[in-house]
Amino acid sequence: MAIDCTQYPLTDGFDELLEAPGAPRSGAEGLCNFFSALPSGELEERHRAVDAAIMAAGITFTVYSEAGNIDRAWPFDVVPRIIEKREWERIEAGLKQRLQALNLCIHDLYHEQRIVKDKVLPAEVLADSRNFRSACVGATPRYGVWAHICGTDLVRDGDGTVYVLEDNLRVPSGVSYMLENRQLMKRLFPELFARYDILPVDDYTAQLYDMLASLSPRPGDRPEIAVLTPGVYNSAYFEHSYLAQQMGAHLVEGSDLVVLDDDCVYMRTIEGLTRLDVIYRRIDDDFLDPEVFRPDSALGVPGLMRAWRKGNIGIANAPGAGVADDKVVYAFVPQMIRYYLDEEPILPNVPSYLCMYEKDLDYVLANLEKLVVKPANESGGYGMLVGPKSTAEECAKFAELIRANPRNYMAQPTLSLSTVPTLCDGSLEPRHVDLRPFILQAKDLYVTRGGLTRVALKRGSLVVNSSQGGGSKDTWIVQDSW
C-alpha cells in the first residue's frame, strides 16, 4: 500500500495525492511508494532536519500582528504537491492568455478606454477604482506591458476543476519561497530527484533578470538594475534581498536614490552617483513618488514618476498596473479575454457576486453564512469573511460594511479546496492548499513550472496565507508516469 490510509483520513473532496484509499493518482505512484517504504520515524526526522536548515539559512517572513516578533521561520511541509505535465501545459497556456489580456486592458484604460466605451467593463468600476492612477494616463511602458510580474492564485474544487481565484499584479510575493522550497527538497530527498523527472524551477531568477534587463532605456549596455525595498521591517524583506542577490542586482531603499535635473535616476554609492536603468519595485504606488502620490512618503523617490514617463527608467511592475488588481475587476477578466484576444478563457474564474449590482447584493446579504466575501483591494487574507467559519455577529457586522460601500465587496461560494497530505504532529493529515504560479511578461511570456503551493496548516481552515498561519509545499510538475 502506497500510503497507509488507516492512518491518513482521506476527505470527501479532491485529494491531490490519492484518488481513493490506497490508490495514488496518476503521476504520484512513485512518491507514495517511496514514502511508504521509509522506516518508521524517518519522515519526521527529515522534517526536523529541514526545519533546522530553514533556521540556519534565515528563511523568514514577518507577521505584523505578532507584537514583538518581527521574523518567523518559514513554515514548510515535506510532502510535495504533484501535478502531471499534461495538465500543467493547459494551466500554463491559460495563465499566459490571462496576463496578455490583463496587460492589454491596463494599457487601454490609460489610453482610449475602449473596453469601457464598449460597455464590456462597467464605467462605474473604473470610476470608483482606488488603483487607477491619473498620473499614468497617456504613458506607454516598453512593449506596452504594465504588469511584468504576476502571481496568479489557483484553486482546485472538489470536482477537480482548477479555478483562478485572483490575480496579483501590484507587488506579488512568494517566488523566493518557491525557489527555496525546491532547494530544501533536493537536500531532503536527493534520491527522488535522481530517480524521477521533476521539471525544474531554478531558472526563474535568470528569466526575471532577462525580463528586467529588456526594460532598460540603454539596451546597448549591461543595465544597472535595483530592487527597491521598503526596508528590513517589510514582511517580504527576505524575498527582496534574496532576489537581488540571485540576480546580481542592487538592493536599495528610497533614500539611496535621487532624480537629478536630467530626469534620470541615480543611486548613491561610496564612489559617487551611478545611473540606474531598471527598478524592480516592491513598494505600492502610494509610496512610490511623494511628488505625485502621498507627499508624506519616506519610502519612495521624488521625481521617479517624471523619470519613468520620460522613458529614462524602467519600472516593474509599472505604476498604475494595480488598476487591474482589484477583486471586482477580476470578475471581468473572462470578458477581457474575449474582447482583446477573441478567445475563450482557458481557465475559469470562481463564480462571483458583485455587490455593486442590486440582485447580487440581495443574494449576498441573504447568504453571508455560505459565502466568502472579499473587499476589492485587500490582500494577504485580511478583511475577508469566510461565512461558514464566522459567527452570526461577524456576519451582521460585515453586512453593515457591505451596505455602506457595495462597490468595495464581492462574494464567492465557499469552494471545497483540494487537499494534500501534510505532516502534522507526526502523522499525515489532509490540509487545504492553493497554488501561486508566477508569470513574467515583457517582449516574451514565461511561466514557472509549478509555483508556490500554500497550505492551511490549521485543521479545516481554508486560509492559506502565511500572514494568517499558513505554510507551504514544493510543487512538482512530473511526466505522466513515474
Instruction: Please report, for the domain that includes residue 390, its CATH number.
Output: 3.30.1490.270
Per the CB < 8 A criterion, the answer to whether 148 and 209 are in contact is: no
Which of the listed residues 319, 341, 363 is the one where a domain comes to its end? Answer: 341
Question: Which structural domain range is residue 404 located in?
Answer: 353-413
Per the CB < 8 A criterion, the answer to whether 292 and 308 are in contact is: no
d(CA 237, CA 254) in angstroms, rounded, equals 14
3-state class of 167 per DSSP? strand
pTM: 0.93
Residues 146 and 245 reside in one and the same domain = yes
3-state class of 334 per DSSP? helix
DSSP code per residue over 237-291 = HHHHHHHHHHHT-EEE-GGGEEE-TTS-EEEEETTEEEE--EEEE-S-GGGT-TT
> Residue type for 446, please?
Y
Instruction: Please report, for the domain that includes residue 217, its CATH number.
Output: 3.40.50.11290
Cell of 138: 497617456
Residues 212 and 319 reside in one and the same domain = yes
Crossing angle for the helix pair 392-404 and 358-366, to the nearest 10 degrees:
170
Residues 242 and 357 reside in one and the same domain = no
At 72 the pLDDT is 66
Average pLDDT of each block of 10 consecutive residues along the chain (482 residues)?
56 86 84 84 82 76 52 80 95 98 98 98 93 97 97 95 95 92 91 90 97 93 94 90 97 98 97 97 96 95 98 98 94 98 98 95 94 80 81 92 93 92 84 96 96 90 73 89 55
Residues 237 and 312 reside in one and the same domain = yes
At 126 the pLDDT is 94
Q: What share of the chain is helix, strand, coil (3-state, %, to 5)?
A: 35, 25, 40
Query: Does residue 39 belong to any structural domain of this protein?
Result: no
Query: Does residue 361 belong to any structural domain of this protein?
Result: yes
At 186 the pLDDT is 92
Query: Does residue 46 belong to any structural domain of this protein?
Result: no
Query: Does residue 40 belong to any structural domain of this protein?
Result: no
Structurally, the chain folds into a number of domains equal to 2
Q: Which of 473, 453, 426, 429 is nearest to 43 (CA)?
A: 426
At 474 the pLDDT is 95
| DSSP label at residue 203 | T
Query: Does residue 330 belong to any structural domain of this protein?
Result: yes
Query: The cell 477583486 sits on which residue?
Result: 327
